[in-house]
Structures are given as C-alpha cells and as structure tokens.
C-alpha cells in the first residue's frame, strides 16, 4: 500500500503551513513515507505558495470548483504517481496530525474506505454542526442500510482507484455523501475509526461550509444518487 495525504484547500494561507508541516514532521518522526499533496481550489490568497513553502506537492484550479472537484483532481494525480490510498485532511487544522497518521497506518486493506468518527459534543463542535451531522448520519444510514456514525468528517482514507471507478458527480461538499452511497452499492468495505478533532474558539473558526445550503445540496445529491440505479 502506497499512501499520501491529500488536502483540498481554499483561502487557507493562514493555516496550511501548520497543517502540512505538522504532518510531514510527524511522519518523519514515525519513519513513515507519507508525502503531502495540496490542491488549491482557486484561492485568491497565497494558499498555494504557502503550501509549497511547507514542503507540499501542489496542484491548482484556476477558479473555485468545489471540494469534490479538488479531491478528484488530487486522486487522479496520485493514481498517476502510483499511490493506492489517500488520507484526506482538512486545511483548517481541525484534524490532529497523529490522527491523520493513524488513518494512514490503519491495518485495513488498501481497498477499504475508512471513515473517521468524531465525538462532536466532546470536542466542542458548534451546535449547528452537531445537528447537521446528526441529520446527515440518520439520512445516509437509512439509504445505505449501515449504521454510519459520522458522514461529514473530511478525515478519511480513500482507496483511490475504486473511488474513481464510482464516477461521483458532485463537485462540492456532497461528494463525500455521494461516494458513501456509491461505495456501499459497489460492495466496497467500509471501516469506521473513532478520532479526536480540534475546534478553535468561535472567533477564529473559518469554514466555507454553509449549514443550511450545503446540507440541502447533500440531500439532493443523495436522492439523485439513490435514483441513479444504472451507475455504480
């Protein structure tokens, strides 16, 4: 199994250096070969430049295309480089480096889709995020027939080739929910791993996820995927 960390990033110049360096230094201490790739999704700030200065391989969209598109761009580049798995990490520093490394080193086969499971109440997530995630979990659990405990966490380990074979259509935040449904339908093994996350003080939180519009888009994409019986 050949693993890389993949970070989709938008307007993340303030946090991306710490995220990239943290992962690279932790991997070096653990003697892990774990390169870090950043996809700058059309940022107007210095996200790409800062990521490169921290030692990441970078790709860039000329305009903002959405998280799903950034992940697909990264997956295709990684597959071309011979990687089998990608650990996706958010650019805001929410995911501790040791948790990212634990996902990378998880003993499940490379073909497994591994989902990180947060304890949002314990780790101090905003109430609206807790509510949104709870609704998403119930909704997707019903559609997949699995007991899914965290369907919105960006910390995952994807089997690259199998994920690309699913041909997901969503280019935004609904990508992660759509991939889950298509993965279950395709018989991909799903593993859920408890993790801890970090939330900054409310005044320091930066999120591009809209707690009303984006969940609505996720619901629409889930319904569309469920009705699309001809696809994987």
The pLDDT of residue 189: 97
If you average pLDDT over every residue of the chain, what do you get?
89
**CATH number for the domain formed by residue range(s) 3-227:** 3.90.550.10
Q: How many helices (H) and strands (E) does the chain have?
A: 8, 7
Domain chopping of the chain, boundaries: 3-227
What are the strands, taking DSSP E only, across 64-189? 85-88, 113-117, 156-159
| CB-based burial label for 21 (10 Å; 0-12, 13-18, 19+) | middle
Question: Could you tell me the pTM of the whole model?
Answer: 0.87
The pLDDT of residue 57: 98
The pLDDT of residue 2: 97
Residue the block writes with tokens 């591994």: 114
Tens of pLDDT, residues 213-229:
556 666 665 666 656 65
The two beta strands, 85-88 and 156-159, are antiparallel
Percent of the chain residues past pLDDT 90, beyond the cut: 71
Q: Mean pLDDT by 10-residue block, N- to C-terminus, for the chain (232 residues)?
A: 97 97 97 97 98 98 96 98 98 95 97 95 81 86 91 95 95 90 95 90 50 60 61 44
The pLDDT of residue 205: 46
The pLDDT of residue 204: 44
């Amino acid at each position: 199994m050949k693993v890389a960390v993949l970070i989709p990033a938008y307007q993340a110049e303030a946090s991306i250096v710490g995220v990239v360096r943290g992962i690279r230094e932790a991997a070096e201490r653990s003697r892990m070969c774990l390169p870090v790739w950043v996809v700058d999704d059309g940022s107007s700030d210095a996200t790409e430049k800062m990521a490169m200065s921290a030692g990441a391989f970078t790709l860039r969209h000329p305009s903002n295309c959405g998280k799903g598109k950034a992940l697909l761009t990264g997956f295709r580049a990684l597959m071309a480089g011979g990687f089998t798995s990608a650990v996706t990490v958010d650019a805001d520093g929410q995911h501790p480096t040791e948790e990212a490394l634990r996902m990378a080193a998880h003993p499940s086969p490379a073909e497994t889709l591994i989902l990180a499971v947060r304890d949002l109440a314990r780790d101090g997530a905003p109430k609206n995020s807790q509510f949104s995630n709870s609704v998403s979990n119930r909704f997707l659990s019903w559609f997949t027939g699995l007991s899914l405990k965290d369907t919105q966490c960006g910390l995952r380990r994807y089997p690259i080739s199998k994920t690309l074979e699913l041909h997901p259509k969503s280019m935004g935040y609904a990508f992660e929910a759509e991939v889950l449904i298509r993965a279950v339908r395709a018989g991909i093994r799903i593993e859920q791993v408890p993790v801890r996350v970090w939330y900054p003080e409310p005044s320091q939180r930066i999120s591009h996820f809209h707690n009303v519009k984006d969940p609505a888009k996720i619901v629409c994409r889930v319904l569309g995927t469920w009705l699309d019986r001809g696809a994987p």
